[in-house]
Structure 1
Amino acid sequence: MRAIDLYAGVGGWSLGLRLAGVEVVASYEWWQPAVDTHNGNHGGSLKPTDVRQLQLENLPSNIDLVVGSPPCTEFSYSNRGGGGDLDEGLKDLVRFLEVVEHLKPKFWALENVPRVAQVLERGMADAKHPLYRFRELGMQIEIIDFSDYGTPQSRRRCIAGNIPFDLIKTYQPRLPRRTLGDVVEAIAADDNVIDPVWGCALPAEMVTEREVERALNAEELRMNREAKTYHPVYNNMAFPDVMDVPARTVTATCTRVSRESIVIGDSSGGFRRLNIRERACLQGFPITYQFYARSFPEKAKMVGNAIPPTFTYLVAQAAQDVSADDLVPYAQAGLRLRLPEAAAPVTPPTTEGRIYPAGRSFRAALPGLRFKSGMRFELANGRGREQDWQVRFFFGPSIDIREITLDGDLLCKLRKSPLLRSLMMALGVEFANATQVLQASTPNDLQAAWSHRAGGLRPYQIADLLGELAGKVHQQLLSAATDEQHAVIGYVMEAAAAGEEGDSIPGSKKLTTHALPILSGLLVGAWFNTLPWHRLQKSAA
C-alpha cells in the first residue's frame, strides 16, 4: 500500500505504517524541529511545508491511505479553557478532507483531541457547516483510548475515517497492557535497555534522553501536590502518579509545577518529572527513535504532540486486512529497529527557577477550607500587583460562580454577633500571634520572596497560617450551643445574598452544609484583608 502523511509531526504515523509494511511516499509538516526529527529517523529530506498551501494537483497519485493529525490547539480544552479559535482550527480539518476528496484513497484516518468528534458530527449534520460537503467520504467517528491497544498511556483521542474500526478492535485481546512502572523500570536499566513495547534492545549507554531532572524542591512539590489533589474545580489526581497502570496523558506543555506533569518518586526519596525517553516510550516510540530538537521543552513538545506509533501500526495492519490471528506483535515487529546514523543533540533537563518575573502570580486554597466544585477560600496576589494580597471566597456552580467580598463591612457585620465577638476575644492571642508573624514582612516583600528575588516569609506560609487560624475558629464554633450553631447558617446565607436580587442563591445547599467552616473562613479572610499590614511599604532591606 502507498500512503501520505499530512501534518506529520515527528513521524508517529509514518513509523507505525512503515513497521506494518506500508510505503509512506510523502509526508508534510511545517515545524522545523519536527521535520528534522522526521528526516533523522526516516532518512528523508523533507522541507517545512504548510499543508494549507499545498497544491492538490502536485500531490502523489495512486495513494491507498491518507493519514494525519491536524493541529489540535484550537480544539483542546487545555487551551484557554477550551476557548480556542474553532474557525481557525476548522481550516485544517477542511484542508485534510479536501486532500482525501481529491486523492480518493481506499482508506483514510484523521486523529485529534476528543472534542473534534463533536465538531465533525455537527459538520456532517448541518448543511450550513463548512464540513458538510464532505459527508460522502464515509466518515466513521470513534473515541479511542490508546491504552486499550498496548500503549502504556491513557490517551483518549478522536479517530475519524473509513478505516476498519471493527477489525482493529479484534486486535485488543492480543495486545499486552503496559504500565507507567513498566516504562520507568525498563528505561532505568543499567546494562541493556529492552524496549517495554517494541522489544528491541540497546546497551544502556546508547539510549539517549535518559537525563533525569533534579528532584522537585519543597515549593514545587507543594504546588504540584495541591494542583493535583486539591484543585478547586477539576477532579483529583493521584500524587505521585500510580505506577501499576498506564500513565496519564503525556502533554506537550507542562512545567515543573503544572497539574499536567506526571510526577513519580525518585531514588533519593524525593519526587521528579519524567525524562524525555520515558515520555517517548509512554507515547509508544521505541528506544531507537531520536528527537532532533534544541532544548528539553522543545523535545517535550514534539513528544506530547505526537500520535503513538503503536496505534498507527494497527491502523496499517487493518487497512491491509490482517486478521487478529495473523497480527505480528509489537515486540516482534520492533526487533528490526535500529538507531539512525545521526545522534540527536543532548539537551539538559529543565532546572528549577532561580528568579521568576517580578509580577509572578500566586493563588492557593487555604488548607481546611476546600469544598470542591468551585467553592473555595483562596489567597491570591492579584497577579503581582503591589499591596494586593487578598483572601477571596467563591461559591456556586461553574456556570454561575459568585463571590462574597471579604472586607471591613463584612467584618463589622460579623462582629455584631455576640457569638463571634466572644469567639474573637477567646482567640485573641491566636490572632495576635498571626499578626506578629505577618509583621516580619510586607506585601511587597512577600511578592519579592515569591519571585525568588528575596528571602523571608513566603505565600504558602501565609496560606497555612490563615488555614490554621480558621481551623481554630471552627473548633470554637463546634463547641457553641446548638441554637448558636444554627444561627451561623443565617450569617453565611446573609453574606451570600448581599447585593443579590431575589431569593435564589446558587449553591445554597452546600453553603448550608458547610456553614461552620465557611463562617470561619469568612471571619479570618475579612480579618486578614483589613489588617494594617496591607498598607506597609517595602522594607529597607
Structure 2
Amino acid sequence: MRAIDLYAGIGGWSLGLKLAGIEVVASYEWWQPAVDTHNGNFLGTVQPTDIRQLHMEDLPTDIDLVVGSPPCTEFSYSNRGGGGNLDEGLKDLIKFLEIVEHLKPRFWALENVPRVAQVLQRGLNDPFHPLYRFRQLKPRIEVIDFSDYGAPQSRRRCIAGNIPFDMIETYKHRLPRRTLGDVVDAIASDVEVTDPVWGCVLPARMMTECETEAALNAEELRMNRESKTYHPVYNNMAFPDSMDAPARTVTATCTRVSRESIIIDDGVGGYRRLSIRERACLQGFPITYQFYARSFSDKAKMVGNAIPPTFTYLIAQAALGIPADRFTTLAEAGIALTPPERVAPVTPPTTEGRTYPVGRSFRAALPGLRFKSGMRFELANARRKDGAWRVRFFFGPSVDIREIEMGRELLRQLRSSPLIKTLLMSTGVAFTAAEQTLQETTPDALQAAWTHRAQGVRPYEVADLLGELAAQVRRYLEAVPIDQQHAVIGYVMEAAAEGEVSDSIPGSKKLTINALAILSGLIVGAWFNTLPWHHQQCAVA
C-alpha cells in the first residue's frame, strides 16, 4: 500500500505505517525542527511545506491511504480556555478533506483533539457549514484513549475516517497496558535499556534525551501541588503522578510550574518533571528515536504535538487487513529498531526562573477555604485601580458564576452585626498580628518577590496568613451558641443575594452548608481588601 502523511509532525504517522510495511511516498510538514526530526529518523528529504498552499496536481497519485494530524491549537480547550479561532482551525480540516476528496484513497484517517469530533459531526450535518460539502465521505468519528491501544499514556483524541475501526478493536487483547512506572523504570537502567513498548534494546551509554531537570524548588513545588490538588476551578489531580497507571496526557507546552506538567518523585526526596526521553516513550516513540531540535522546549513541543506511533501502527495493520490471529505485536515489530547514525544535539533541561515578567500573575485558593466545583476564596494580583492584591470569592455553577465583592461596604454591613462586632473584638489580637506581618512588605515588594526581582515575603506566605486568620475566625464561630450560628447563614445569603430572592441564588445549598467557613472568609477578605497596606509604596527596611 502507498500512503501520504499530511501535517506529518516528527513522524508519528510515518513510523507506525512503515513498521507495518506501508510505503509512505510523501510527507508534508511546515515546522522546521519537526521536518529535521522527520528527515533525521527516516533519512528523508522532506522540505517545509505550507499544506494550505498545496496544489492538487502536485500530489502523488495512486494513493491507498491518506493520514494526518491538522493543527489542533484552535480547537483545544487548553488554548485560551477553548476560545481559539475555530474558523482558522477549519481551514486545515477543509484542506485535509479536499485532498482526501481529490485522491480518493481506499482508506483515510484524521487525528485531532476530542472537540473536533463535535465540529465534524455538526459540520457534516449542517447545510450552511463549510464542512457540509464533504458529507459524501461519510467518516466514522470516534474519540478514543490511546492508553487502550498500547501507549503508556491516557490521551483522548478524535479519530475520523473510513479505516476498519472494528478490526483495530480486535487487536486490543494483544496490547499490554503499560504505565508511567514502566517507562521511568526502564529508562533508569544504567546498563541496558529495553524499550517498554517496542522491545528494542540499547546500551545505556547510547541513550539520548535522558538529561533530567533539577528538583523543583520550594515555590515551584507549592505551585505544582496547589494547581493540581487545590485548583480554584478545575478538578483535582494526583500529586505526584501515579506510577501504577498510564501517564496523564503529555502536552506540548508545560513549564516547571504548570498544572499540565507530569511530576514524579526523583528518588532522593524531591520531585521533578520528565526528561524528553520519558515523554517520548509515553508518546509511544521508541528509545532509538532522535529529536533534532536546538532547545529543550522545542523538543517538548514536538513530542507533545505528535500522534503516538503505537496507534498509527494499528491503523496500518487494519488497513492491510491483518486479522487478530496474524497480528504482529508492537514488541515484535520494533525489536530490530536501531538509532539513526546522526545523534540529536544535547539540550539541557529548563532551569528554575531567575526572574519572571514584571506583571507575572498570581492566583491561589486560600487554605481552608476551598469548596470544590468553582466555589473558592482566592488571593490574586489582578491589576485594578484600587490596588494590585485582592481576596476574591466566587460561587455558583459554571454557567452562572457570581462574585461577592469584599470591600468597605461589605465590611460595614458585617460590623453592624453584634455577633460580628464581638467576634472582631475577640480575635483582634490575631488581626493585629496579621497586619504587622504584612508591614514587612508592600504590594509592590510582594510583586517583586513573586517575580524574583527581590527577596522578602512571597504571595503564598500571604495566602497562608489569610487562611490561618480565617481558621481562627471560624473556630470562634463554631463556639457560639447554635441559635447564633443560624444567623451566620443569613449573613452569607444576604451578601450573596445582592437584592435577589434567596431561593434564586445559584449554589444556595452549598452556601448554606459551608456558611461558617464562608463567613470567615468574607470577614478576612473584606478586612484585607480595605487595609491601608494596599497604598504603601515601599517595603519596610
* Structure-1 residue corresponding to 2:38: 38
Q: Which residue in the other structure is 1:412 paired with?
A: 412
Is the 1:387–1:444 Cα contact (8 Å) retained in structure 2? Answer: no
Please show how residues 168-183 of structure 1 align to structure 2 within 5 Å.
168-183=168-183
Task: Provide, for residues 48-68 of structure 1, a one-character-per-residue CA deviation record: whole Å limited to 9, x for no partner.
Answer: 001111010111011000000
Which residue of the partner structure matches residue 453 of structure 1?
453
Equivalent residue, structure 1, for 2:403:
403
Correspondence 1:99-110 to 2 at 5 A:
99-110=99-110
Please tell me whether the aligned partners of residues 440 and 540 of structure 2 are also in contact (alpha carbons under 8 angstroms): no
1:278 positional shift:
0.1
The question of whether the paired residues in 2 share the 8 Å contact of 1:373 and 1:397 is answered with: yes
Q: Name the counterpart of 1:433.
A: 433
Q: Which amino acid aligns with 1:360?
A: R
Structure 2: which 5+ residue stretches go unaligned?
A: none
The amino acid that maps onto 2:41 is: N
Report if the CA contact (8 A) 2:391-2:529 is conserved: yes
Residue 90 (structure 1) shift = 0.7
1:531 deviates by 1.2
User: 2:389 — aligned with what?
Assistant: 389
Note the alpha carbon deviations across 1:417-440, whole angstroms, 9 max, x for none. Answer: 111111111111111111111111
Aligned partner of 1:510 in structure 2 is: 510
Answer yes or no: is the 8 Å Cα contact 2:440–2:539 preserved in 1.
Answer: no
Moved more, 489-498 or 280-289: 489-498
Q: Which amino acid is 1:123 matched to?
A: G
Q: Aligned residue for 1:50?
A: 50
After TM superposition, list the pairs within 5 Å mapping 1:306-317 onto structure 2: 306-317=306-317
Partners in 2 of 1:165 and 1:442 — Cα distance? 61
- Counterpart position of 2:204: 204
Change over 3 Å in CA distance of 1:412–1:216 after alignment to 2 = same
Aligned partner of residue 325 in structure 2, secondary structure: coil
* CA contact 1:382–1:388 (8 Å) conserved in 2: yes
In the other structure, the counterpart of 1:372 is 372
User: Does the residue aligned with 2:197 lie in a helix, a strand or coil?
Assistant: coil
TM-score, normalised relative to structure 1: 0.98
Alignment match, 2:118:
118
User: What is the Cα deviation at residue 138 of structure 1?
Assistant: 3.1
Secondary structure class of the residue paired with 1:293: coil
When residues 522 and 502 of structure 1 are mapped into structure 2, their CA distance, relative to the original with a 3 A threshold, is closer
**Residue equivalent to 2:285:** 285
**Deviation of the 1:202 alpha carbon:** 0.8
Give 3-state SS (helix, strand or coil) of 1:281's partner.
Answer: helix
Distance 2:533 2:540 in 1: 16
1:361–1:384 Cα contact (<8 Å) kept: no
8 A contact 1:367–1:467 mirrored in 2 = yes
Distance in structure 2 (CA, Å) of the matches to 1:247 and 1:385: 43
State whether residues 232 and 364 of structure 2, in contact with CA within 8 Å, keep that contact through their aligned partners in structure 1: no
Structure 1 residue 399: deviation in Å?
1.4
CA contact (8 A) 2:150 2:175 kept: yes
Q: How far, CA to CA, are the matches of 1:260 and 1:385 in structure 2? A: 32
Cα distance in 2 for partners of 1:325, 1:106 equals 24
Structure 2: how far apart are the matches of 1:504 and 1:454? 48
Distance 1:59 1:526 in 2: 66
Q: Is 1:305 matched with 2:305?
A: yes
Kept in 2, the 8 Å contact 1:360–1:383? The answer is no
Letter in structure 2 aligned against 1:287: I
- The letter of the residue matching 2:61 is S
Matched AA of 2:240: P
Superimposed CA distance per residue, residues 156-206 of structure 1 (whole angstroms, 9 cap, x where no aligned partner): 110000000000000000111100000000011101111110011111111
Aligned AA (1:21): G
Alignment of 1:218-237 (within 5 A): 218-237=218-237
Equivalent position of 1:331 in the other structure: 331
The residue matched to 1:382 in structure 2 has which SS?
Answer: coil
Q: Does residue 1:74 correspond to 2:53, yes or no?
A: no
- In structure 2, the partner of 1:84 is 84
Structure 1 residue 385 displacement after superposition? 8.3
Displacement of 1:372 in angstroms is: 1.2
1:132 and 1:409 map into 2 onto residues whose CA distance is 55
Give the Cα separation in 2 of the matches to 1:152 and 1:115. Answer: 22
1:396–1:506 CA contact under 8 A, matched in 2: yes
Q: Distance in 1 between matches of 2:20 and 2:132?
A: 33
Q: 1:384 Cα deviation (Å)?
A: 9.2
* Letter aligned with residue 456 of structure 1: G
CA drift at 1:539: 3.1
Report the Cα distance in structure 1 between the residues aligned to 2:193 and 2:336, rounded to whole angstroms: 15
C-alpha change, 1:279 and 1:453, in structure 2 (3 Å) is: same
- Taking the aligned partners of 1:343 and 1:383, their CA distance within structure 2 comes to 48
| Cα distance in structure 2, aligned partners of 1:232 and 1:34 | 36
Q: Which residue of 2 aligns with 1:93?
A: 93
Q: Are 1:214 and 2:201 counterparts? A: no
Structure 1 CA distance, aligned partners of 2:535 and 2:177? 59
Cross-structure match for 2:532: 532
C-alpha contact 1:74 1:88 (8 A) present in aligned 2: yes
Q: Is the 8 A contact 1:386 1:444 kept in 2?
A: no
8 Å contact 1:386–1:443 — kept in the other structure?
A: no
The alpha carbon displacement at 1:267 in A equals 2.0
CA distance in 2, matches of 1:435, 1:136: 69
CA RMSD of aligned residues (A): 1.3
Deviation digits for residues 280-308 of structure 1 (CA, Å, limit 9, x no counterpart): 00000000100011110100000000000
CA distance in structure 1 between the partners assigned to 2:52 and 2:539 by the alignment: 57
Match of 1:5 in 2: 5
On the 8 A contact 2:441/2:540 being kept in 1, the answer is no
AA aligned opposite 2:512: T
Question: 2-side partners of 1:384 and 1:167: how far apart?
Answer: 58
* AA partner of residue 6 (structure 1): L
Per the TM alignment, residue 347 of structure 1 is displaced from its structure 2 partner at its CA by 0.4
> In the TM superposition, what whole-angstrom CA distance separates every residue of 1:102-146 from its partner, at most 9, and x where no partner exists?
111110000000110011111121111111111111311111111
Closer/same/farther in 2, CA of residues 384 and 324 from structure 1, 3 Å limit: farther
Inter-partner Cα distance in structure 2 for 1:128 and 1:414: 56
